[in-house]
Structure 1
């Protein structure tokens, strides 16, 4: 394995680690008028060769918009990190995977369970991801912020763009 491949794999693993505990993402796509539109989506699965899975309704406007322009951004944010994933989305009919991902939270938002033909998967194939991660605990973050303000140095954090 080349050093570049190893570095890419490590960076992809870092992205996976940052998003693994963030349940809700903001999925941004383009509507029929070309405007950017975002909506919260519960992440069902993240496989960091660059695959993200969501469950939604086929009849939803945001799902229909993916047919016109499949380019999307998926944003994740926590108290100490931020991840932005750019990729291409497609609507997927996969009854087995839909049943596998279905849970009580999904049941609360979508009607008819995994057997409802209107309930489908959205698969995002990531091209790139950018992350920012603030090191340490909340106390460490505050100390670093104060240090940056007092010294004029940049706030310590890890920022990187990863090709997936």
Structure 2
């Protein structure tokens, strides 16, 4: 397996426990960040989000499709950049619909305000502290005692 394939596999593993992203748009008023729930379980070069069409972030995507996504867990972090597109696809919306979406958009996938955002990922980067909290504490103590840098696994993926 190539290094790129290993990094892609590592990214997929890390993101299993990271369903919520902070999405940043770059509209006319400058950067705007907000939490969004990722709908696909397996991350790929394409990520899906359900949203209401009458929102600031949807308007901002109309002027500038660039987005930044950040995900985090207790001991891992992922940052992605890409281009977002508003998608009105009723079949895909029904496929991705879940109870979490229902909490934000009552009425189910037939709610006329419900739309999809598809993000085509151009670059992803991750940081991981393997071994969890105990390993992180040991690495931190080692850093303080020896002056070495903190041990973290880092990789970049370009789908």
TM bin, normalised by shorter chain, reads over 0.9
The SS at the match of 1:44 is: coil
Number of the residue aligned with 1:25: 21
Number of the residue aligned with 1:140: 135
How far apart, CA to CA, are the structure 2 residues paired with 1:145 and 1:41? 31
Query: What is the alpha-carbon root mean square deviation over aligned residues?
Result: 1.4
How far apart, CA to CA, are the structure 2 residues paired with 1:123 and 1:94? 11
How far apart, CA to CA, are the structure 2 residues paired with 1:49 and 1:139? 30
Number of the residue aligned with 2:64: 69
TM-score (norm 1): 0.91
Measured against aligned partners, the alpha-carbon deviations of 1:82-122 in whole angstroms (never above 9, x if no partner) come to: 00010000001111111111111111111321012220110
* Displacement after TM superposition at 1:46 (Å): 5.1
2:148 alignment partner, one of 146, 153, 157:
153
* Displacement after TM superposition at 1:137 (Å): 2.7
Mean Cα deviation higher: 66-75 or 46-55: 46-55
Unaligned runs of 5+ in 2: none
Preserved contact between residue 73 and residue 84 of structure 1 (Cα < 8 Å): yes
Number of the residue aligned with 1:114: 109
How far apart, CA to CA, are the structure 1 residues paired with 2:73 and 2:121? 20
Over 3 Å off, 4+ runs: 46-49
Number of the residue aligned with 1:123: 118
How far apart, CA to CA, are the structure 1 residues paired with 2:5 and 2:112? 37
How far apart, CA to CA, are the structure 2 residues paired with 1:17 and 1:54? 20
